[in-house]
């Protein structure tokens, strides 16, 4: 009735590699270069700089009339400034996602360990039950 416990191979694989996060995606020169540029542009300081640059051309846009002002808002201000702000938000979301991924990984590790301990307890219970059964059967045969 006893069965030898063999841990699932995924447990060892998880131990070797750990949780997958966004920093694991940095591959090759192009990936590193893109990451450097993204990290430079995705800051609020860059958004403030882009706002200052965009405001330099605001007086000319106002002087050009409604169409020029609308074009300035859409093509200069929104694209230039919101780009950095959206990237900041994406970076914050990625960090939160990495934290959530790590927490889920740790929870899964704990559950796997608990499951392994439960399996060991079941094996002990089965062994004790067999021993008790043998004693009871031996006593009933007397």
pLDDT of res. 15: 75
Q: Long-range contacts of range 28-36, CB-CB < 8 Å, 24 or more positions apart?
A: none
Would the pLDDT of 110 be above 80? yes
What's the whole-model pTM score? 0.58
pLDDT, tens digit, 9 for 90 and up, residues 25-41: 767 888 888 888 888 88
Say what percent of the chain tops pLDDT 70.
Answer: 94
- What is the rounded average pLDDT for all residues in the chain? 85
pLDDT of res. 30: 84
**DSSP characters over 18-48:** ----GGGG--HHHHHHHHHHHHHHSSHHHHH
Confidence of residue 5 (pLDDT cuts 50, 70, 90): low
């Amino acid at each position: 009735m006893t069965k030898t416990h063999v841990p699932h191979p995924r447990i060892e694989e998880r131990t070797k590699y750990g949780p997958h996060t966004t920093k694991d995606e940095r591959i090759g020169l192009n990936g590193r270069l893109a990451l450097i540029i993204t990290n430079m542009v995705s800051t609020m300081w860059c958004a403030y700089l882009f706002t200052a640059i965009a405001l330099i051309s605001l007086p000319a846009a106002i002087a050009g009339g409604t169409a020029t002002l609308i074009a300035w808002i859409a093509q200069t201000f929104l694209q230039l400034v919101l780009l950095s702000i959206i990237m900041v938000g994406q970076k914050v979301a990625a960090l939160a996602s990495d934290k959530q991924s790590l927490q889920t990984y740790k929870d899964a590790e704990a559950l796997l360990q608990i499951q392994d301990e439960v399996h060991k307890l079941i094996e002990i219970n089965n062994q004790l039950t067999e021993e008790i059964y043998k004693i009871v059967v031996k006593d009933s045969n007397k």
